[in-house]
Amino acid sequence: MASVARAVIPAQEDAAFRIRGLSRSFDGRTILAGIDLDIARGEFVALLGRSGSGKSTILRAAAGLDAGVAGAGSIEVPERRSVLFQDSRLLPWASVIDNVVLGSFAADARERARIALREVGLAGHEDKWPKALSGGEQQRVALARALVRAPELILADEPFSALDALTRLRVQRLLLQLFERHGPAVLFVTHDVEEALRLAGRIVILAEGRIVYDRPTTGVRESATRFEAARLEILERLGVSAD
C-alpha cells in the first residue's frame, strides 16, 4: 500500500497549500487520479464537483483525516490550519467560549476566544450551551473556533450547506469579511455554484478524479451578466445543461 508524504509548509513560502500527484482509490475505484493543486497565501479557492468527484477526499487528505487510506503523492500544508465541517461540530457539553478555546493553545486563549466571538457577532453568548443557539449561530461559533487559531489555511467542507437560504447568505457575507480582514488561504469545498462565485477568487472543478477547470473569478461579481455567464459555464462543466 503506497502512502502519501505529508510535510509542513514554512510560513515564509508563497504557497499555503501544495499537493502533487495525489491519488486515491477505494475498492479498486479511482477517486483521485494524480491531482496537482497549489493555493497561494491569502487566496480563496472554491472546489466544485459532483458527488463522488473526490472533492471531499482532497479536503480530508489535507486535513489529515484519512490515515490508513491507500494512495500516493505528497501534501504540504501549514502548521496552523483550521477545518470547518458541514456540521458545526460543537461539543454539546462545553459552553460556547470553551468550544472556541478548544481551537487555541495560546496562553491568552480565553481572551482570544472572546475577540473571535465578537468578530462573528456572538459577544455575550460566551456562557451559553451550543444547543441553545440556532443553526447559523452554531456555525458562527465554529467559525470563531477556526479563527482563534490564526490559521494560515482554512479547509472548509461544505460548511453552510445545512443552513437555510437566508442564514446561508448572512454567514457567507461574514466569512468574506473575516477572510478580507485576516487573509488566510482558503480551500472551500461546495456543490453550490453561486456560493463559489460569491466567495472565491478562483474556482477549481473536479471530475472523475481530475481537475477539469481552474480559473480566477476576476470581475465576475461586478456585473450580473458576467456572473450569470460564469454560472452557466460552470454548471455545464459540472454536467448540468443550461436549459
Partner 1 sequence: MSLSSILEPAKSSVRRKAADPAAASSSLLPKPSLPAQRLLGPALVLALWYVASGAGWISPAKMPGPEAVLASLGELIADGTLAGDVVASLHRAGLGLGIGILSGFTLAVAAGLTRLGDALIDGLVQIKRSIPNLALIPLFIIWLGIDETMKIAIIALGTMVPIYINTHAGLRGIDRRYVELGQTVGLSHWRFLRHIVFPASLPGFFTGLRLAVTHAWTALVVVETINATSGIGFMITQARIYGQTEIVLVGLLLYGALGFSSDAFVRALERRTLSWRQSLAQ
Work out whether 29 is an interface residue with partner 1 (CB under 8 A). Answer: no
Own/partner contacts of 123-131, CB < 8 Å, gap of 24 or more, are 125/96, 126/95, 126/96, 126/97, 127/95, 127/96, 127/97, 128/95, 128/96, 129/92, 129/95, 129/96, 130/88, 130/90, 130/91, 130/92, 130/94, 130/96, 130/99, 131/92
Spatial contact of 189 and 214, defined as CB atoms under 8 Å apart = no
Work out whether 240 is an interface residue with partner 1 (CB under 8 A). Answer: no
Roughly what angle, to the nearest 10 degrees, separates helices 165-182 and 135-147? 10
Work out whether 92 is an interface residue with partner 1 (CB under 8 A). Answer: yes
Spatial contact of 73 and 4, defined as CB atoms under 8 Å apart = yes
Stretch near partner 1 under the rule CB under 8 A, chosen from 3-11, 96-104, 164-172, 209-217: 96-104
Work out whether 110 is an interface residue with partner 1 (CB under 8 A). Answer: no
Q: How far is the CB of 242 from partner 1 (least distance, A)?
A: 38
Q: Which residues lie across from 15 on neighbouring strands?
A: 40
Stretch near partner 1 under the rule CB under 8 A, chosen from 57-65, 106-114, 220-228, 229-237: 57-65
Work out whether 105 is an interface residue with partner 1 (CB under 8 A). Answer: yes
Q: Using the rule CB under 8 A, which residue among 1, 10, 131, 222 binds partner 1?
A: 131
Work out whether 40 is an interface residue with partner 1 (CB under 8 A). Answer: no
Work out whether 68 is an interface residue with partner 1 (CB under 8 A). Answer: no
Q: 67 or 242: whose CB is closer to partner 1?
A: 67
Distance CA 61, CA 20 (A): 12
Applying the rule CB under 8 A, the residues between 143 and 182 that interact with partner 1 are: 145, 149
Enumerate binding residues for partner 1 (CB under 8 A): 63-65, 82-83, 85, 87, 89, 91-94, 98, 102-103, 105, 129-131, 145, 149
